[in-house]
Amino acid sequence: MGTLVAGLKPRPTLAHAPRIEDVLQFYRKNPPLVLGAAGVFIMVALAIFGPILSPYDPLKNDYQSAVQPPSLAHLFGTDKFGRDQLARVLVASRIDLSIGIITTVFPLLIGTIVGSIAGYYSGLLDGVFMRIVDIQVAFPFIVLLIAILAILGPGVINMYYALILVGWIGFARLVRGEILVARKMEYVLAARALGYGSGRIIIRHLLPNVAGPALIFAMSAVVLNILAGASLGFLGLGVQAPNAEWGSMIAESREFFLTAWWLPVFPGLAIACVGISFSLLGDGLAAAVRRRAN
């Protein structure tokens, strides 16, 4: 009996909740990652729940409350139609965040596929890809977006198409460069010697080792796409009135720049907060990748 009891293994216990000391230690190791992730989480939470909790309709006009400064009733003030600015900033965050995320995810996938094939096989495929890159680089980013929207027409859906058509090139160039270096590594040569197919080598061996730089670049791409969407909205080529979007909100407040400071300031602050949060998150991911590599 004693032998049997002695041979019993103790039951596994539940993992302890993280202590404050552990959280502080993690923060000290990588503060940009923690701050950036917290900022992105807050912005996404506000985009999801903010418009639901707001007591005001962001599209309802109330001319008796037009151009009112910030107050307890309207924390961000009202615009020239009497619409609550806080409600419009919150509902606009859904559109702007979706622009940044959707127009980054699809170019990431497309660019990763194209860059992997071009970098691994080289030859004719790589030559065709580089000529496409040369054509795209010959045009400034915003000018190319305006040209595409001039063909497709203004609107948020066409803006998605334009940003995706332009955005995949950067990811493809990055992944191609990483693949060109990684395909000469010993583990790739060993996989070829074992008779593994090209698809397996790319998917299971190359992509996991080159995904880090692409993900880090994706954080910057989110910020650039949000800024591009806001710029197109400011020019009237993106989200159309009366829908709220940070760039179009700033454009609508141009005539009140000197008399109603809150109209351009709060949408501009929203753009800045999102940009800083994703930039910090990207810096934190870069630091984590460097630490892992060392």
pLDDT digits (tens, 9 = 90+) for 52-82: 888 899 999 989 989 999 999 899 999 999 9
Query: Average pLDDT, stretch 238-246?
Result: 88
- Which of 18-22, 102-106, 123-127 is most confident? 102-106
Polymer length in residues for the chain:
294
Using 50, 70 and 90 to split pLDDT, how confident is the model at 255?
confident
- Flag whether the pTM goes above 0.75: yes
> How much is the pLDDT for 30?
82
Residue 90: count other Cβ atoms within 10 Å of its Cβ. Answer: 24
> How much is the pLDDT for 103?
95
Using 50, 70 and 90 to split pLDDT, how confident is the model at 290?
confident
Quote the percentage of the chain above a pLDDT of 90: 46
Say how far apart CA 238 and CA 142 lie, in whole Å: 13
Query: Average pLDDT, stretch 261-287?
Result: 93
Using 50, 70 and 90 to split pLDDT, how confident is the model at 126?
confident
Is the domain spanning 83-293 CATH 1.10.3720.10? The answer is yes
Q: Which residue type sits at 57?
A: D
Residue 22 has pLDDT above 60, yes or no: no
Say how far apart CA 162 and CA 144 lie, in whole Å: 8
Q: Taking a C-beta distance cutoff of 8 angstroms, is the pair 82, 66 a contact?
A: yes
Q: 46-49 — which CB contacts under 8 Å span 24+ positions?
A: 46/90, 46/93, 47/90, 47/93, 47/94, 47/97, 48/94
> How much is the pLDDT for 294?
64
Q: Phi-psi bin for 195: left (phi > 0), alpha (psi -120 to 50), beta?
A: left
Query: Average pLDDT, stretch 269-278?
Result: 95
- Give every CB contact of residue 109 below 8 A, 6+ residues apart in sequence: none
Query: Average pLDDT, stretch 164-168?
Result: 92
**Residue 109 corresponds to which tokens in the numbers above?**
């996938």
Q: Phi-psi bin for 56: left (phi > 0), alpha (psi -120 to 50), beta?
A: beta
CA quadruple 105, 106, 108, 112: dihedral sign: positive
Pick from 16-25, 51-60, 95-104: least confident:
16-25
Using 50, 70 and 90 to split pLDDT, how confident is the model at 6?
very low
- According to DSSP, residue 80 is labeled T
78 by DSSP, 3-state: which? Answer: strand
Using 50, 70 and 90 to split pLDDT, how confident is the model at 19?
low
Residue 206 has pLDDT above 70, yes or no: yes
Q: Phi and psi dihedrals of 78, rounded to 5?
A: -130, 160
The torsion of the CA quartet 176, 182, 187, 193, rounded to 10 degrees, works out to: 60
Where do the DSSP E strands lie in the chain?
Answer: none
Largest CA distance in the chain: 89
Say how far apart CA 162 and CA 156 lie, in whole Å: 10
- Average pLDDT score, the chain: 86
